[in-house]
Structure 1
Amino acid sequence: MEGYSRKEKLLVQVKNTQEEREHFHQDIELLYVLEGSMDVAVGEKVTHMEPEDVLIVNANKKHSLRGTKDILFAKLSIDYHLVSDIFQSVDIIFWCDSTKEDHERYEELRRVIKQLLNHYLSTQGGVANFGHIALCYQIMDILSVHFLVQAADRENMDDTDRFEERILQINNYIRANYSQPISLKDLSEKLYLSNGYLSRFFKKNYGMSFAEYLTNIRLYHAVDELLYTGTPITRIAYDNGFASVAVFNKAFKKAYGETPSAVRKKSREPKKDMLRQEHDTIVEQRLEQFLRDDGLEREIPEIQEKTEEVVSVRAKEETACIWNRMINIGSAEELLRSEVREHVILLKEALDIQYVRFWNIFSKELLIDISREDEEYNFSKLDSILDFLLQQGIRPHIELGQKPKRIHGSVQNLLMITEELEVGFTDLGHWEKVLKAVMRHLVHRYGSREVGTWRMELWMEESQKGNPAAEEGYLELFEKTYEVIHRYSTETEVGGCGLRLGYMQESNKEFLEKWAERKCRPDFLSIIYYAYVKGEIAQDNYSKRNTDDDALKNCILSTKAILRKAKMQDTRLYVTEWNLTISDRNYINDTCFKGAYIVKNMLDIYGMADEIGYFIGSDRASEYYDSHTMLYGGTGIITKDGILKPSGFAFEFLGRLYPYFIGKGDHYLITTDKNDTYGIICHNQKKLNYNYYFTKEDEIEKEQIWKYFEDREALELHLKLEDLEDGLYQVKTYRINEHAGSVLNIWAEMGYESELSRNDIKYFRRVCEPRLNIQKQQAKGGIMELTIKMEPNEITFVRVRRLV
């Protein structure tokens, strides 16, 4: 109907209905449990929701609800076309399920939902005001920024392009022609597909037949006209593609339990039914009690961040310096290259790293031919790598698994894929034979005492997780590995298996419980973290960027909880790989934000893990034909020309901290040497915003980095230090921000010149250093007050030293 539009784009309902039979609709449905509990069945999958749980049921998904007697829940029905029109897409999926993950973005969503419910209660369901509209759109903004799964998030894009195109063609065709008498045959001819194939395609990917889906679309449009216009029912039926009024009535009653005329009549009747009035009153009273108990008042006060802290400088314990002990370098062959070795030396000098982690020692490049029957293996290349590391005072952390070398543009796309590495081990006996030869050689060449200070790890490929046979095979392989290594060197740490944080948590729990029952447990459990959330929706795998700013901390906490349940809480926890992104072409890697992100996360997880290894040390590990410019978004903390990025200075500042821990807050950590000298590291990391999450990682604009953050506000941190010795102190402040020491910002001042001379590079090395400010300050009555002002995404190190 011309000029017609739906009355409410987001419909709010508060219900205590214990059961809703299976149904589907084109609305996106957000469910929020206030009291009681509820099981939501979507297809064959059942989700159990407890109070405060939030779940989205996507459009056209058959679902049913079954709640306890005390159930009270909010249902927000979101107009599908509101979202599809905004994003110019008909392939809209939200991934929002707090029963599977729960982080600050869910808290933000809950807070606004409660404000909406408070408004709903205050206005007795009134929607004709800007307050209601503003809250509705605030919810939509949170959902679209943090929970929307875009088509670009689907993995293996090369393999699914045809599928995406087909879904788009189907949706566009039905959306454009639902009011016409179309059939499966018409659509199959349009797509040049057989009727049988298309019918099966619908069942598999839509969860219903073509006829059911088409009827659903028609009913969706018809219901709006029925409720919000005076159009005759006969015309509504024909305008929305139904062959007759009788067909419309039958389909409508099957879906909604009543005839169209009865529904229209009820929608226009005043609420005179006493039973219904009583029901509404009960629900309203329960909602009001819920909001009162939750502490939400009618007027919501603004929450302001506190920036003032009082800290006693008495040392409490030794500082848990987990940050500069290990760095990832990559495949073992990288360490054969002189330019990579040069960067390892630079990293050792700047950060005093203790371990270098590398993998793929059984590769063609290392000349170790594991197929030889005579066991005369050539270890000369491996020796060259180990000799180099030991000469620099660095110990090896050897990952014994084989990893394919990949350079990522984004989580979906690769700029380069080398051939997948073939492990080549025929069975457990073959692995044992080769590993014995390796260990014999290492102990003979370097001595058991030296090898005893090394670490060895056995990674399990992610695709094997959740497969009982593959997991059993890994455990057997690990036990043999542990046995062989400790036969030659009992002190060498042997661990595994590279669990990916935030992914398959339930499977990880079951796997660790199996491992706990084995005779051989790892010396350390290795885990991997990149800021992505991986899952499966309708047979498609997705990896969307994690918008939780505290995700690393939350994932480690959940992993430690799993370890406790598996009775492995005493096992050392090493985060052997971590980063915000796996993209080697993401300019966020070159920014001040990345330095602040590192410091922020190190403060967040302080005391939670035993080791954390950043991925990766040098941009030289990700060079390719397109990496001719000075910076290109590589994940390294040092540029290909040997210049520390802000991420490198983050580790350098962390390395300046003193041996004894005093205290920490959200933006700072304080240490001391117990000789009247104090080291304070601070950050003002800003959260990434929707521009970042909606932009492909390899399309981040280096010229407009500012637009990817939620705000650009400075931070003024006031620290009141107590229990100091009175006297005069020297206060040195080192800063890295957009105006001091940032290689990307200095490059911008040069117009992003790609043809740089050797002298230009020397200039960069001189100016890419922290800005230093020195002042003197008195401590009186055992107290000194410091005010540290930080620009957005600045990192700061403050050294306070008593002058004799």
Structure 2
Amino acid sequence: MKCKYEFIEYHKSLPLNIFVYEKADEYLTWHKEIEILFVLKGKATLNIKDQTYHLYAKDILVINRNEIHQVTQVDSDTIILSLLLNPYFYEVYYDGFSDIYFERQSLLEDKTEDKYSYLRNKISNIMIHLLSLNKTYQINLLSESLELVAYLVENFRKDATGVNAITDDYLHQRFSRILEYLMKNYDKKITLSDLAKKEYISIYYLSRLFSEHMGIGFNKYLNMLRLDKSMYDLVNTNKSILEIAIDNGFSSAKAYRTVFKENYNMTPNDYRKQLFTTEESQEEKIKFTKGTTALLDILHNYQTNPIAANKNEPNTLEIEVDDINAKNKQWISFEKILYFDYVYDELNINWQTNLEKIHNEINFDYIRFSGIFNHGMYFYDDKEKVYNWFNVDNILDFFVNKKIKPFIKFSYNKKEFTIKSWHIMLENFIEHCIKRYGLSNVKEWKFEFAHEDRSYSKMIELYSKSLDYFQEKFDKLKYGIEFIPSSNFHEEYFLENFKNKHLHFISVEMTEEMYNKRKGFVKILFNSIKNLRLKTYFIKTESRNYFNDTCFKANKLIHDFLNEHHGIDAPVNFIDHLKTTKLFHGGLGLLTYNGLKKPVYHAYYLLDKLKGYVICNGSNYYVVKNENKIIILLYSNFEQVDDEPSTIDFYERNRTASNHDSLLIKLRMNLEQGKYKLKSYTLDKENGSVFDEWINMGKPKDFDNEEFNFIKSKEIMRLKSATVDVQDELLLKQLLPANGVKLIEVTKA
């Protein structure tokens, strides 16, 4: 059991043990106590015999006594709280308590939020009392544990009849006896033969018993148990590796190192060094036990008494707007850029139809694409030294006719071209574009140089030579470069090479994982580019995830544009790739492959309307003024979302949010007397989310025309309009559902 922190409070008066597993890869264990797992942060997978449970932040699961189980971490920052209750202690208060079986499934499927909240409240109370270590903490612990046990019995008790466990009483007793013997004697020499003799059974039968009911061989279980127990000594003592090995039943330090490396991919010494060279020092570990780390922040989220609190009352945010003149004159707007990889897709009529449909609504400024020199897009007659740009012309003609400007990424591959031959081909292409569309049009386009080799020296060489070459040939055009930072990037070294170049913009591309790990460094990079007076574009590469189909992603898009990337434009993916027949597969596009608008499209549409001078803003709102119109955007604070719905299972279990998760926004605004028109747009799981409607339909795999037309009718946001009389102020009360977005336009009638 890879447990970084352990709190042991197992006295005659305190029938409970508490463990906190942080950054734990996996553990396999068995307890004679009842265990309650509470996922505080991250994700984990729990295996109990042939059942697998996917657990997410806030999930709680009960593991009955004598049930062998394995927990596997999914996230690197996973934190799991484990509470062990001694069933025999509670026999004093409830006859037969040790024989009760608690139903697990109802904890995951029951949608009654109060039932969850009460358990979270009680368990977090227990942990906080333990961390406080005040004079009455033991009394408080006992009181909270009794209330918790009573609640479990009343709400989750199930008769053990038919329970998928070791049902034969004699077999059950034998197996429990074997496991308890191993738990007490793991530090001694134990063989399968000795244990078989002790139980008067054959070695073969005992081995099969382990495999069938533990899902693991005897020796592996024993090694895992010993490894489990050794972790306390490794983390919390100064014992040598040999001492730890012998004290925990291993025959030698070498045997211990072998088992350790199989499970942790490092030696015990390396693990110990790594542990004490992380940001958490030994002093900080001590502080943890005193309750002064981030753990308390998580636990305090569950401190409101869920029974006493009025669950019908949402959280409230009050906004006062005294002055609508926007004195700071900060203008908010952004370039609207569509992005996709496969330029060949543009020749598809369906693709062009969908682009035209959304371009008519949003009026995009640019479309960024690559692959223009892939095979099939152009042809070259080597004998006559002539290029045929027919396919490329079809695409560019479409864009020019729709008044959307090309943002063309030129990717260099040294296996196909020398830099010189690549330059000649690009020169021919640009000359062709100027001749066909005119210099006045082409100078509004963007041309970006990119290198498929990610080494800094190769990128710098290509970009420097390309900028020099094309500055001399076409000095009126807008050039940019793509920069993909490495894990230890030095922006000063890279940018220093382009201070005096004919450069207009830099596109920074990185994975979401790197961005989340290095946000501070990324901000420094953006500031460095800004100091060069260059435009910055940010492309964050993300993986497919059902998160992308939901209102979660819509809120995240708004949050990123207005907070994370304020002043930096970010291209958005146009349409899901046609790589599967599934309507929803976590694609990154604004549209599904067959043209349905996803919630993220509506979020982008509403952002496009948020154009004007900023009056005021906060974590959930932006208010701007554009001529005689006031625009108010209300959105959920994405930072409050505990987890991403990476599976449909997770999303379905958590989408029925209580009113408690909603936000009541009261906005009071001083206005001149008169009549005003209010026009509002609402996006939430009931309005504008085709993904939620697809779930409501039963998640069909195939659609006939009637079904498709029905779900298409649900892609529209709710639109309301009203005229109100204003004396001296306008009071707006808007209930914002969890992950909902509202935009309100206020215009004098």
Shorter-chain TM-score range: 0.5 to 0.7
Aligned position for 2:398: 388
Aligned position for 1:541: none
| Residue deviations 1:682-707 (CA, integer Å, cap 9, x gap) | 222566867747xxx4x434871635
The Cα of 1:651 is off from its aligned counterpart by: 1.4
Kept in 1, the 8 Å contact 2:621–2:632? The answer is yes
Q: SS at the partner of 1:459?
A: strand
Aligned position for 2:90: none
Aligned position for 1:769: 716
2:430 aligned with 1:430: no
2:638 aligned with 1:647: no
Shift in alpha-carbon separation, 1:799–1:489, aligned structure 2, 3 A = same
2:602 aligned with 1:602: no
C-alpha distance in structure 2 between counterparts of 1:307 and 1:638, whole Å: 33
The Cα of 1:746 is off from its aligned counterpart by: 2.8
Aligned position for 1:720: 668
Aligned positions of 1:538-687 closer than 5 A: 555=519, 558-564=521-527, 568-575=531-538, 577-578=539-540, 581-583=542-544, 586-605=545-564, 607-609=566-568, 611-614=569-572, 616-619=573-576, 622-627=577-582, 629=583, 631-675=584-628, 677-684=629-636
Q: SS at the partner of 2:562?
A: helix
Kept in 2, the 8 Å contact 1:563–1:569? The answer is no
Kept in 2, the 8 Å contact 1:331–1:360? The answer is yes
C-alpha distance in structure 2 between counterparts of 1:11 and 1:573, whole Å: 49
| Residue deviations 1:83-108 (CA, integer Å, cap 9, x gap) | 999996688698569xxxxxxxxxxx
C-alpha distance in structure 1 between counterparts of 2:522 and 2:284, whole Å: 39
Kept in 2, the 8 Å contact 1:658–1:678? The answer is no
Kept in 1, the 8 Å contact 2:365–2:405? The answer is yes
Q: SS at the partner of 2:376?
A: helix
Aligned positions of 1:59-138 closer than 5 A: 95=76, 120=131, 122-123=133-134, 130=141
Shift in alpha-carbon separation, 1:284–1:649, aligned structure 2, 3 A = closer
Q: What residue identity is the alignment partner of 1:618?
A: I
C-alpha distance in structure 1 between counterparts of 2:70 and 2:537, whole Å: 42
2:430 aligned with 1:439: yes
Kept in 1, the 8 Å contact 2:372–2:410? The answer is yes
Shift in alpha-carbon separation, 1:335–1:238, aligned structure 2, 3 A = closer
- For residue 798 of structure 1, the aligned residue among 697, 722, 744 is 744
The Cα of 1:563 is off from its aligned counterpart by: 4.7
Kept in 2, the 8 Å contact 1:523–1:571? The answer is yes
Shift in alpha-carbon separation, 1:592–1:348, aligned structure 2, 3 A = same
The Cα of 1:28 is off from its aligned counterpart by: 10
2:726 aligned with 1:744: no
- For residue 359 of structure 1, the aligned residue among 370, 381, 388 is 370
The Cα of 1:680 is off from its aligned counterpart by: 1.4
2:441 aligned with 1:486: no
Q: What residue identity is the alignment partner of 2:467?
A: Y
C-alpha distance in structure 2 between counterparts of 1:29 and 1:745, whole Å: 34
Shift in alpha-carbon separation, 1:285–1:378, aligned structure 2, 3 A = closer
Kept in 2, the 8 Å contact 1:29–1:58? The answer is no
| Residue deviations 1:131-182 (CA, integer Å, cap 9, x gap) | 9999xxxxxxxxxxxxxxxxxxxxxxxxxxxxxxxxxxxxxxxxx9996599
Shift in alpha-carbon separation, 1:603–1:238, aligned structure 2, 3 A = closer
Aligned positions of 1:57-456 closer than 5 A: 95=76, 120=131, 122-123=133-134, 130=141, 217=227, 220=230, 240-242=249-251, 307-311=317-321, 312-315=323-326, 316-317=328-329, 319-322=331-334, 325-369=336-380, 372=382, 375-401=385-411, 424-456=415-447
Q: SS at the partner of 1:793?
A: coil
| Residue deviations 1:401-440 (CA, integer Å, cap 9, x gap) | 27xxxxxxxxxxxxxxxxxxx6643422122222221222
C-alpha distance in structure 2 between counterparts of 1:334 and 1:453, whole Å: 24
Shift in alpha-carbon separation, 1:633–1:179, aligned structure 2, 3 A = same
Q: What residue identity is the alignment partner of 1:448?
A: L
Kept in 2, the 8 Å contact 1:121–1:284? The answer is no
Aligned position for 1:784: 730
Q: SS at the partner of 2:616?
A: strand
C-alpha distance in structure 1 between counterparts of 2:232 and 2:601, whole Å: 60
Q: Unpaired runs of 5+ in structure 1?
A: 13-26, 31-55, 61-80, 98-111, 135-175, 183-212, 228-233, 248-254, 257-281, 403-421, 535-545
The Cα of 1:313 is off from its aligned counterpart by: 1.6
| Residue deviations 1:774-802 (CA, integer Å, cap 9, x gap) | 33333333x22211111122111111111
C-alpha distance in structure 2 between counterparts of 1:59 and 1:744, whole Å: 34
* TM-score computed with the length of structure 2 as normaliser: 0.61
Q: SS at the partner of 2:391?
A: helix
- For residue 10 of structure 1, the aligned residue among 6, 19, 43 is 6
Shift in alpha-carbon separation, 1:58–1:771, aligned structure 2, 3 A = closer
Shift in alpha-carbon separation, 1:587–1:367, aligned structure 2, 3 A = same
The Cα of 1:352 is off from its aligned counterpart by: 0.9
C-alpha distance in structure 2 between counterparts of 1:389 and 1:682, whole Å: 34
Q: Unpaired runs of 5+ in structure 2?
A: 9-18, 28-43, 56-68, 79-122, 146-184, 192-222, 238-242, 257-267, 270-282, 305-313
C-alpha distance in structure 1 between counterparts of 2:252 and 2:683, whole Å: 70
Q: SS at the partner of 2:341?
A: strand
Q: SS at the partner of 1:626?
A: coil
C-alpha distance in structure 1 between counterparts of 2:634 and 2:654, whole Å: 21
CA RMSD of the aligned region, Å?
5.3
Shift in alpha-carbon separation, 1:368–1:7, aligned structure 2, 3 A = closer
Shift in alpha-carbon separation, 1:178–1:450, aligned structure 2, 3 A = farther
Shift in alpha-carbon separation, 1:647–1:529, aligned structure 2, 3 A = farther
Q: What residue identity is the alignment partner of 2:648?
A: I
Q: What residue identity is the alignment partner of 2:478?
A: E
Shift in alpha-carbon separation, 1:742–1:564, aligned structure 2, 3 A = closer
Shift in alpha-carbon separation, 1:786–1:93, aligned structure 2, 3 A = closer
| Residue deviations 1:580-606 (CA, integer Å, cap 9, x gap) | x421xx333222222222222222246
C-alpha distance in structure 1 between counterparts of 2:424 and 2:376, whole Å: 21
Kept in 2, the 8 Å contact 1:678–1:800? The answer is yes
C-alpha distance in structure 2 between counterparts of 1:617 and 1:708, whole Å: 29
Kept in 1, the 8 Å contact 2:688–2:717? The answer is yes
Shift in alpha-carbon separation, 1:119–1:761, aligned structure 2, 3 A = closer
Q: SS at the partner of 1:313?
A: coil
Q: What residue identity is the alignment partner of 1:383?
A: D
Q: SS at the partner of 2:400?
A: helix
The Cα of 1:755 is off from its aligned counterpart by: 4.1
C-alpha distance in structure 1 between counterparts of 2:593 and 2:506, whole Å: 32
Q: What residue identity is the alignment partner of 1:704?
A: E
The Cα of 1:508 is off from its aligned counterpart by: 4.2
C-alpha distance in structure 2 between counterparts of 1:438 and 1:453, whole Å: 16
Aligned position for 1:527: 508
C-alpha distance in structure 1 between counterparts of 2:132 and 2:653, whole Å: 42
Q: What residue identity is the alignment partner of 1:523?
A: H
Q: What residue identity is the alignment partner of 1:700?
A: I
- For residue 497 of structure 1, the aligned residue among 482, 492, 497 is 482
Q: What residue identity is the alignment partner of 1:341?
A: Q
Kept in 2, the 8 Å contact 1:587–1:633? The answer is yes
Kept in 2, the 8 Å contact 1:670–1:679? The answer is yes
Number of corresponding residues? 547
Aligned position for 1:542: none
Q: What residue identity is the alignment partner of 1:596?
A: N
Kept in 2, the 8 Å contact 1:526–1:573? The answer is yes
